[in-house]
Amino acid sequence: MKLKLAVSAGSLARTVAAYAVFTATLLALLTESAWAVPSYTRRYGMECSGCHTMWGALNAAGVTFRLSGYRAIFGQNLTPIVEDTEVAKGVTIPSTLPLSFITGVGIDSRTEKRQVTGAGGSNVTSKGTSLALEDASIFMTSPVGQHFSGFVEFPMYETRAWEFTPTGNFEARYNTNPGRQVKFNTESPTFEVAKFWWNNLFGNSLPRDSVNLLAGITHLPTAYAAGKVRLSVNQYLIYERTALSLISPRRVNDVVGGDPNDFLFRLSEPQVMAEANGMLTFGKPVSDTAKRETFWAEYHLGMTNGRNNRAADNASKDLYGRWVMRYFNQSLGLFGFRSTDSYSDALRNTGSLGAGNSSATGIMSGSQNANKVNRWGPDFTLSLAPAGIPVSLENQFMYNRESNPTGFGREFKWRGGFNQLNWQVSKNTMLYGRYDWLKGGAFDDTGLTVNGNTGITRSTPKERDYVIGWQHLYEQNIKLIAEFRSHKFDDTATGALIPTLGVATTPARLTDNGFTFRVMFGF
C-alpha cells in the first residue's frame, strides 16, 4: 500500500518555494529512518519492484502473487525471513507484524470552466488549490496457514481531489452558479476493503492456484486497477461514470437523496462480492508462468450486491466475470457485468418528480420498473519488453447500457475506454500518457409521461481526458509523482424549452484542468 503527499504546479511561487523546502526536509528525514517497508516486503525480504512496475501497477509476478493468496510468485513458494508461528497442528500465523501504514499531505490545483451557448448562456470559472491530508490508512494483510489469507484496509482520512470530478448535463448546462472556489471533497471513512481467500480449494488434486474462493468487500477484477491503488492519480472515466452522472439535469446527490455511492453502482468502488478465481497453465507446471513464452490464463467468476460496499436493498444479485490470456508479456482479456436492476425502490421514490416537494430535485417517473445494466468489453496490453524496449500500451474498451435510468422506459447507451502508454525509463522511473474517452447516445424522455409525470431529461454527452504523468522511486518506500490532467465534457443536445426547467436545450461544455505533485511513502 502507499501513502500520498501531493503538491501542484498551479500554486503561487511563495507557496511552491515553501513546499519545496518542506519536501526536501521530509525526504532527508525519511531517508535516514524509514527503512521499514510494507508488510510483504518485511515478510519476504523483497523489493516492491518484484511485484510492481511501479507502486499501484502489478506486473505478471504480482498477478501470480495475488492469486496464490500472497504465498508464491510464478508458482514458487516464498519463504518468510522469520519462520511463521505454529498455533495449532497445521495452523500458522505470521511472526512479522502484518500491518502497514500510509499517509501524506499535499497540494492539488484545479480550474473548472462552464460554458453554455444560446439564450441565457453563461461562462463561469472556478479555481482551487488545496493543501490537505491526501490519505491516511492502516491495512492488515497476510496468509494464515496453507490455504487462508486476508486483506483488510482501514482508511482514516482521504481527500478525493481527482475522483468523482465534475461531469454531466447538470454540471455543464444547469450549474450556472457553482462558486468561484473549487471544493475538494474529503471524508473520514473507517472501513473500505476486507477480502478473504481460500486457496487451492481441491488441494493437490488440481494444479496449484487453479481454483480459489474469494469473498468480502473489494474491487471487481477489471483489467486495470479501478481503486485508488492504480498507477495514475486520476481515475479512469469508464470505470467511474453512471448514466445519471452523465445525463441528469439536476445534481445527482439531490436526485438520490444523499451520497450517490450509497445508491449507485460504480465499477470504481469496492463491492460486496464472492467469486471463484484462479490461473490455468493448460498442462504445464505453474512455475512455467515465469517464462515469457508460456501461454497461461486467469479467470474470475462471481456475484455482487451491486451496491458498492453497502448491503443490498433489492432482491436481485449481479453477476460478473473476467477472462484474460497472457503470452510473451502481452495480454488479451474480456470483462462483463450484468445487473437485473441497479436501482432500489427507495432511490426511484426519492428521485421521483412526483414525490412531495421533490419537483425541485427529481428526474424519475416514480414507476418501479427495473433499470437493467450491462457492461462489457475487451482489454489488451501490448508490450515491447520481449524486444528489449521497456514500453507498453494498455487499452480498455467498454460498452454500457442502462435500460431505464429515469423510469420513463427510455434506455441509455454509451461506450468508452482508454489508451495508456507507459515507458519504464529505469527501474525506478516511469513516464506515462493516457487518453480517456466516453461517448453517449442521444437520450430524451421529455415527450414521455408516466404516472402523471413528464420527463425532463435531454442529453447527448461526450467526455475526454488527457493525462501525462511522471513517477520516480526516491527510495523503495518513497515515490514522487507529478501529473497533469486536461478534462472536457460536452453535451451537444439541442431542443425546445423544457417547462419544468424553464430553459431551452443548447450545447454546453465543462472543462476541468489541473496539476498535482505527490510524494507517497509507506511502512
pLDDT of res. 180: 85
Q: What is the pLDDT of residues 458-478, one digit of tens each?
A: 999 999 999 999 999 888 788
The cell numbers describing 38, all together, are 510494507
pLDDT of res. 54: 79
Check if the beta carbon of residue 457 is closer than 8 Å to that of residue 425.
Answer: no
pLDDT of res. 120: 55
**Strand residue runs (E) in 354-428:** 373-383, 391-402, 412-426
Domain map (residue ranges) of the chain = 5-521
Q: What is the CATH number assigned to the segment(s) 5-521?
A: 2.40.160.10
Check if the beta carbon of residue 96 is closer than 8 Å to that of residue 150.
Answer: no
User: Within a 13 Å sphere around the CA of 451, how many CA atoms are in the beta-carbon half?
Assistant: 18
Q: Give the residues of the chain that fall short of pLDDT 50.
A: 1-37, 119, 357-358
Burial of 140 (0-12, 13-18, 19+ CB in 10 A): middle
Burial 107-129 (b: 16+ CB within 10 A, else e): bbbbbbebbbeeeeeeebebebb
pLDDT of res. 389: 96
pLDDT of res. 33: 32
pTM: 0.88
pLDDT of res. 10: 44
